[in-house]
Structure 1
Amino acid sequence: MTALRSVVLGCGSYLPERILTNAELASQIDTSDEWIVQRTGIRQRHIAAEGEFTSHLAINAARSALANAGVDAQSIDLIVLATSTPDNTFPATAVAVQNGLGIHHGAAFDLQAVCSGFVFALATADNFLRSGTFKRALVIGAETFSRILDWNDRGTCVLFGDGAGAVVLEAQEQSGLSSDRGILTAHLRSDGQHKSKLYVDGGPSSTKTVGYLRMEGREVFKHAVGMITDVIVAAFEATGLTADDIAWFVPHQANKRIIDASAHKLHIAPQKVVLTVDRHGNTSAASIPLALAVAVGDGRIKRGDLVLLEAMGGGFTWGSVLIRW
């Protein structure tokens, strides 16, 4: 029995030039490098320049991914852009990316699931590709979270950064077995009763403003590990694979303590975990593709490797994707 799978052809990333260190933050607010590192593992983050939009970051990441895949932009017929910080209320930032790449066919749209956005976007593109609706997709996570931070709130402003990452997916016929290349399974969840624990206090319909990010950090931490475990166990059950089969675990880069606790609970060896939170901070929907680009670029992730992705974000939303590279 054969099956269409969404195979990763390449990945890429883009980070703004400006680096904001913990030391620089400590000169502006009541915090310290030691305090931030101890609680989060973050040492620095990138901040978009004035006039540098989410679409600009996404276009650069898309070009990087296309080059890595060795394919032309004109072969792309679907763009799914995960972001919580769009250029405009509308149109979708994805169409700005589409236009910036010189693509004038197919479909492009944004998807909003906060930090889980890239996982949700991968699952969405996978369904379109497996159905035969589209052949080749760009899936992008891009954020300028620095634009929605309250820089006087030391509990949140130290956590987030800006950036973008992207992958190129192509529908390919495979055997239908767990040994196939491509996306093997995806599991998505959400529960809106937790909205008040992580949200932005503005929006066009409610306040007619953009608003600022607000978070109850302890509450988020309390729920994170259990929710992450839920969707990863579901991935293992769906495929018959186990933690021992995983070559690389690429989690959402929110907090090193959450990542460490999740890996420990799932019996995933520390040396299999890809960590970039120290360099990037929490870049929301961009964090997983940024981490993927680092691990592919330095040679860790190779063709045939089983790669486990997971994320949790505001909503709450959470999800996992299991891919054979």
Structure 2
Amino acid sequence: MGMGILGLGGHVPPLVIDNAQVAEWTGVDESWIVERTGILERRYREPGTTTSDLALPAAREALAALPDAQDRLGLIIVATSTPDQPQPSTGAVLQNKLGLSDVPAFDVNAVCSGFLYGLAVADSMLSARPAGLGGDHALVVGSDIYSSLMNRDDRRTVSLFGDGAGAVLVGPVPEGYGILSWRLVAHGEHRDLVEVPAGGTRAPLDAEAREAGGHLFRMRGREVRDYALGVLPKVIGEALDQAGVRQDEVDRFILHQANTRLVEACCDELGLDPARVPLTAPHFGNTAAASIPLTLRAENERRPFRRGERLLLAGVGGGMTAGAAVVRWY
């Protein structure tokens, strides 16, 4: 018996931020945004919307895939780096909004790799659970509101990010299906490539920190690109080897949508046919931990996954972190 993805859900807020708006904020030409990022628009939350608010409809959609999913749920994991508040976890808040008291719930923060980390944790915990105890399904949600962290004067970052949530229901599938393997890595020596410096115990979010912009997102884009193109092929190769699957046997590659140009560069680096690599970045931007599950859902709507189809999920995130998972669809 393996653990597989049984349900998909996704949600983006209705407010569209197009490149004309980003150009107005930053003073850069719209053509520069398209040329450098391949992103046409992104979604922003309405004022007052929280990360758990975005997660809720995505979670409900994923749970609706099985009539008794809520009764069989043994775990809720929310991958986010923009939680509702420092504590309690957004997972606990979501659990309450779903009316699922008693079900263990917590957060995972591996920035844009967070969903893959959460999926690996869910696979491990469910696989270790003794048979017959119930609670053999897990809800894994990636939800982020990066509009709350954007420096609207910084064309290099505000052009990239949007808000959204994606969710999967994980549960038992026949042997040979489901999550065949996963590989996670972290490289803390590169932690300053992607960061929000203030707001923790190292740099409290006081007036001085706000004045310096310490509460806003920072990224060293070229170095992040180099990290992604160096590390991603390695973790993908290791996950494929562990699963006993060749790269040319993978039907579709669901990559983190950092931006369209980086996804294209990853395809070139790996020698992938772009037709096997769906894109949501042009219309959603980089939705951080929501990116992979949102793209899974969008691709399944465009062309439903077939039983036995092999998928490769992979991405990188702040930390720096990276991960890959091989899934045989059931």
**Same fold judged by TM-score > 0.5?**
yes
2:211 corresponding residue in structure 1: none
Q: Percent identity over the alignment? A: 39
RMSD: 1.4
Equivalents in 2 of 1:159, 1:70: separation in Å? Answer: 37
- Number of equivalenced pairs: 317
Q: Tell me the CA shift for residue 305 of structure 1.
A: 1.1
1:183 corresponding residue in structure 2: 179
Q: Which amino acid aligns with 1:135?
A: D
Equivalents in 1 of 2:184, 2:111: separation in Å? Answer: 13
What's the CA shift string for 1:103-148, capped at 9, x where partnerless?
Answer: 0122000000000000000001000011116510000000001111
2:106 corresponding residue in structure 1: 109
Equivalents in 2 of 1:206, 1:268: separation in Å? Answer: 42
User: Higher mean Cα deviation, 22-31 or 90-99?
Assistant: 22-31
Alignment counterpart, residue 6 of structure 1, candidates 3, 6, 10: 3
Q: Which amino acid aligns with 1:151?
A: R
Is residue 69–residue 137 contact of structure 2 (8 Å, CA) maintained in 1? no
Query: Partner of 2:138: helix, strand, or coil?
Result: strand
1:18 corresponding residue in structure 2: 15
Counterparts of 1:60-79 in structure 2 under 5 Å?
A: 60-79=57-76
1:146 corresponding residue in structure 2: 147
Is residue 146–residue 163 contact of structure 2 (8 Å, CA) maintained in 1? yes
1:36 corresponding residue in structure 2: 33
Counterparts of 1:160-239 in structure 2 under 5 Å?
A: 160-174=161-175, 180-209=176-205, 211-239=215-243
Is residue 12–residue 68 contact of structure 1 (8 Å, CA) maintained in 2? no
Q: Tell me the CA shift for residue 88 of structure 1.
A: 0.7
Is residue 141–residue 290 contact of structure 2 (8 Å, CA) maintained in 1? yes
What's the CA shift string for 1:189-217, capped at 9, x where partnerless?
Answer: 00111111111121231222271111111
Q: Tell me the CA shift for residue 8 of structure 1.
A: 1.0
Q: Tell me the CA shift for residue 299 of structure 1.
A: 2.2
TM-score normalised by the chain length of structure 1: 0.94
1:287 corresponding residue in structure 2: 291
Equivalents in 1 of 2:71, 2:29: separation in Å? Answer: 48
Structure 1 pair 37–301 and aligned structure 2 pair: CA distance change class (3 A) = farther
Equivalents in 1 of 2:229, 2:252: separation in Å? Answer: 18
Query: Partner of 1:109: helix, strand, or coil?
Result: strand
Q: Tell me the CA shift for residue 60 of structure 1.
A: 1.0
Query: Partner of 1:223: helix, strand, or coil?
Result: helix
2:91 corresponding residue in structure 1: 94
Q: Tell me the CA shift for residue 181 of structure 1.
A: 1.3
Query: Partner of 1:204: helix, strand, or coil?
Result: coil
Counterparts of 1:246-257 in structure 2 under 5 Å?
A: 246-257=250-261
Q: Which amino acid aligns with 1:58?
A: A
Q: Which amino acid aligns with 2:48?
A: G
Structure 1 pair 241–28 and aligned structure 2 pair: CA distance change class (3 A) = same
Equivalents in 2 of 1:239, 1:136: separation in Å? Answer: 22
Equivalents in 2 of 1:119, 1:65: separation in Å? Answer: 17
Structure 1 pair 68–38 and aligned structure 2 pair: CA distance change class (3 A) = farther
1:82 corresponding residue in structure 2: 79
Equivalents in 2 of 1:29, 1:264: separation in Å? Answer: 30
Equivalents in 2 of 1:13, 1:224: separation in Å? Answer: 25
Which blocks of at least 5 consecutive residues in structure 1 are unaligned?
A: 175-179
Query: Partner of 2:144: helix, strand, or coil?
Result: strand
Please state if 1:45 is matched with 2:42. Answer: yes
1:177 corresponding residue in structure 2: none
Query: Partner of 1:38: helix, strand, or coil?
Result: helix
Runs (4 or more) in structure 1 with deviation over 6 Å come to none
TM-score normalised by the chain length of structure 2: 0.93
Q: Tell me the CA shift for residue 72 of structure 1.
A: 3.7
Equivalents in 1 of 2:240, 2:36: separation in Å? Answer: 30
Equivalents in 2 of 1:302, 1:34: separation in Å? Answer: 38
Structure 1 pair 31–69 and aligned structure 2 pair: CA distance change class (3 A) = farther
Equivalents in 2 of 1:219, 1:23: separation in Å? Answer: 27
Structure 1 pair 142–207 and aligned structure 2 pair: CA distance change class (3 A) = same
Q: Tell me the CA shift for residue 285 of structure 1.
A: 0.3
Equivalents in 1 of 2:233, 2:20: separation in Å? Answer: 34
1:323 corresponding residue in structure 2: 327
Equivalents in 1 of 2:28, 2:306: separation in Å? Answer: 40
Q: Tell me the CA shift for residue 70 of structure 1.
A: 4.2
Equivalents in 1 of 2:239, 2:66: separation in Å? Answer: 26
